[in-house]
Structures are given as C-alpha cells and as structure tokens.
Amino acid sequence: MASSPLLLSLASSRNPNSEFTVQRRRRGALATTASSSSSSDDHFSKLVTFLGKGGSGKTTSAIFAAQHYAMAGLNTCLVIHSQDPSAEYLLNCKIGTSPVICNNNLSAVRLETTKMLLEPLHLLKKADAELNITQGVLEGVVGEELGVLPGMDSVFTLLALERLVGFLGNVGRRNPRKDKYDIVIYDGISTEETLRIIGVTSRARLYLKYLRNIAERTDIGRLAGPSLLRLVDEAMSLTSRGSNLNGKMSSEIWDILEHALERGSSAFGEPRKFGCYLVVDPNNPASVSSALRYWGCAIQAGAQVSGAFGTASPHSQVESVEIVKKNLSPLPFALCPHLPMGGSLPDWNAIISSNPSEGARDLLSAPASSSSSSNIMEPVKFDSSKKSVTLLMPGFDKSEIKLYQYRGGSELLVEAGDQRRVIHLPPEIQGKVGGAKFADRKLVITMR
C-alpha cells in the first residue's frame, strides 16, 4: 500500500597531410567500440543523439558524426525526424521515408509519422481478419484519413528506432533484423521530444505493471485481456520477422514484455549502447544554460551524457569557448567545424580529416569506459557508511527538485525538469529521508 507522498522543499601535433594514418587510427578504435556493442547474442547497434537549444547546431553535429563513423568503416544510418531540408543539402542526397545510401557506409532516412502509423494498422487489420475479434469494425478504419495526434511522434519514432537498433532484444521477432547498422544517429524533432523517447521504456514499465493488474485482477480485464494479447500476437506474427510469443500463456507474454522494457531501459543507461551529446553555441549564453538543463534532464530520463560539442564559427572567441568548457566540466568538450549553408557543397573528406576536427573525432571515438571523469559523473552514488544518496543534478536549482517516498523506505521518487525518476535504495540505506542539501550540482540525501 502506497503511503502519502513526502514532499521535501530544497529551498533551505599531427602531420596534417597524413589523412590515411588518421583514418586507420580512427577505424581501429571504432571497430573495438562496435564489437563491444555486439557482445550479446543479438546484434546491437549503438544509438547516438544530440541535445541542445534550437539553432545550436544539433543537425550539423549529427551529420558530422554520421560522416565520421561512416568514413571510419562503420555501417551508419542517419535518422532525420524533421521536414527541414538542411540534411539533404549537407549530404547532397535526397532523403526519403525508406533508407537511401548517401555514400560508402552511410544511409539516411526521414521519419514521417503519418506514414509510420499505417503499417501497424494494416497488420492489426490482417490479424483481425483471421481472429474476427472486432467483427469487421477495424476493417472499416481508413488509415489514410488518420492524422497525427500529440504524443504519436514519440511512440512511432521509438518503434522505428527499435527496428534499427534492437534495444528490446528479440521480443516479437522470430528472425533477426535485415538491416544491421553499427551506428544509428537520431536527429529528432526537438530536444524535449528526444528526452521523452529516452525515458519512455522506463516509464512504460510502470504503466505495464498497472495494466497487468487490471488484466489479471478485474472481471473486464480477464474478459478482454487475452483477446487483445492474441490480436497483438497475431499481428506481430504477420510481419516478416514473425513473433516469438505464439503459444504462450497470457502471464508469459506479460513477463516477456516486462523483460523487453527492462532491457530497453537499461540500454539507454549504458554509454556503450547509447551515446548522448550536448550541443552548444559558445557565443550564446542561453544555449549554454539550456545545455546544462538538458544534461540534468537526460539524467532524469535515465541516460548518461557522454560529452559536449560546441559549434565553431568565424566569430568564436577563445574566451567564450573556455567559459563553456568550465561550465560543462567535467564533461569532455570539443568543437565541431563551422559549415556555412549556401555556396559550394561541403567536402566531407577534407572536413573530417582536418586538424580542427580532431577533437570532435576523438570525442566521438572515445570508448565508453575511458572517461577519466566517470566517477565524478555517476548519476547516483550510495554511501552506506553515511547512509546517504548523492544524485547528480546539473542545470537545476534546489527549489526545482522535489522528493517523494512511497512503499515505505525502499525507494525515492525524484521530480525535476518535467521528469520523474525512481531510485531503488540498497537494503543498508533504506529508510525515511532525514535531510537533503544541494551543492556543486549534486543533491546529497541523508536517510534515517
């Protein structure tokens, strides 16, 4: 039984001509990273995305990263979820709703939700035609008439990325994926939408838990639940991948779905599987403040930020760049080269191999376990001797952070930045909150 929430106010120098050498060095480092991402039986692609204020250079950074990985010999897919034609200009490639090859090792695809919602509807119709659950009602739904409602973008984007990345493992799959990419780079509609996608699997686990309770403990759930699960299972079995849920009991299917969401949630917290980078305009203080905020929001969503990129420009000043580095410390920081729109098309071979791009190349190529600041940037630290919990909360003011406790003292619910995060406490620290203090971007909570 959940207790009443406890609300705590916290107000109290390389040869520039040795391009081949640079390419070989990067390829070796990145091949190691890619192989570590495929250590399990299933093939895992690494998903990479960028967070930052609009106009800070997220799309430019995403395309730079895509070209970098592709030139290093990794099979790369750039996923654009926007009608902005900037990516097509910078890649000199027409991007459609099916993956198109732009150059060696690099493909690109544009996500359009109006088209993405048609396939699952078509599969459900075919399944219903076999099972006759809706008695023909579903067949009367015209998918081309349906518009996109708020929230649909995130859901269908997650499904599209799952097909490319495979974070949920083999749930609903009898055959492996045809398109196996080493790197999938996602350039989303907005940073806020990307944050929702990052956190959706962990949030969906709680919804799944309550839905299962309804399905197993209520009359209407016991009546409708098996039929709905059967409809979904039949729809999944009609795909080219097939389904591995056929013949299983309802309880087994619920367990498989829970395990899949748990697997997806943990993947977003593993830097070897998910690379999340901040993008800032060093000459814009608002962009720097936004990046700090998004750093905190990413942690709240369940991800770790791997580093930060600044967009270089002809007007960039050394003083501004140093200030940004200090503000984002201890995150590793690098500058991406300035790519002006208009005029001649960019020469990506020259851009990627140039000395000014070295820092950005190294940051993108760095193994997930090589960060010297990994201990400093741990999102959660437990100290059993002091019976305390330390949370990394960059970008937030102490008055914006709220703590709740439910289900006794076994966990903490942290609310900040329009995100909620559950912290499961180890047995030796469990208890009621005795106090909390905020300093140096960290919230230290003492249990009693």
| Confidence tier at 312 by pLDDT (50, 70, 90) | confident
Which residues have a Cβ under 8 Å from the Cβ of 437 and sit 6 or more positions away?
A: 443, 444
- Tell me the backbone φ, ψ of residue 83, rounded to 5 degrees: -90, 0
- Helix crossing, 219-237 with 118-131: angle to 10°? 110
Q: Which two tokens stand for residue 442?
A: 């960290």
Q: In what order do the strands lie in the sheet with 380-383?
A: 380-383, 388-392, 442-447, 433-439
Q: How crowded is residue 207: how many other Cβ atoms within 10 Å of its Cβ?
A: 11
* pLDDT for residue 102: 94
Residue 9 has pLDDT above 50, yes or no: no
Q: Which two tokens stand for residue 85?
A: 């034609």
Mean pLDDT of 67-82: 95
Q: Which two tokens stand for residue 115?
A: 């088209």
Q: Considering the chain, what percentage of its residues have pLDDT values greater than 70?
A: 81
Name the burial class of residue 303, with classes exposed (0-12), middle (13-18) and buried (19+) by CB atoms within 10 angstroms of its CB. buried
**Which single residue is written with the structure tokens 């055959």?**
175
Amino acid letter, residue 243: S
Residue 275 has pLDDT above 80, yes or no: yes
Alpha carbon distance 328, 213 (integer Å): 44
Alpha carbon distance 290, 9 (integer Å): 24
Alpha carbon distance 70, 383 (integer Å): 43
Residue 244 has pLDDT above 70, yes or no: no
pTM of the prediction? Answer: 0.82
Name the burial class of residue 69, with classes exposed (0-12), middle (13-18) and buried (19+) by CB atoms within 10 angstroms of its CB. buried
* pLDDT for residue 256: 81
| Confidence tier at 5 by pLDDT (50, 70, 90) | very low
pLDDT (tens digit per residue) in 196-232: 999 988 888 888 888 889 988 898 888 888 777 777 7
Q: What does 385-440 look like in DSSP terms, one character per residue?
A: TTTEEEEE-TT--GGG-EEE--STTSEEEEEETTEEEEEEPPTTT-S-EEEEEEET
Higher-scoring residue by pLDDT: 187, 264: 187
Alpha carbon distance 273, 257 (integer Å): 20
Residue 155 has pLDDT above 90, yes or no: no
Alpha carbon distance 300, 443 (integer Å): 13
Rounded mean pLDDT of the chain?
81
Residue 390 has pLDDT above 90, yes or no: yes
Alpha carbon distance 279, 324 (integer Å): 11
Residue 132 has pLDDT above 50, yes or no: yes
DSSP 448: -
Amino acid letter, residue 100: V
Residue 317 has pLDDT above 80, yes or no: no
pLDDT (tens digit per residue) in 344-364: 788 999 999 998 899 999 999
Alpha carbon distance 290, 292 (integer Å): 5
Alpha carbon distance 59, 65 (integer Å): 10
Residue 260 has pLDDT above 90, yes or no: no
**Which single residue is written with the structure tokens 């593993």?**
270
* pLDDT for residue 314: 62
Which residues have a Cβ under 8 Å from the Cβ of 132 and sit 6 or more positions away?
A: none
Higher-scoring residue by pLDDT: 361, 123: 361
* pLDDT for residue 43: 57
Q: Which two tokens stand for residue 204?
A: 């969906």
* pLDDT for residue 315: 65
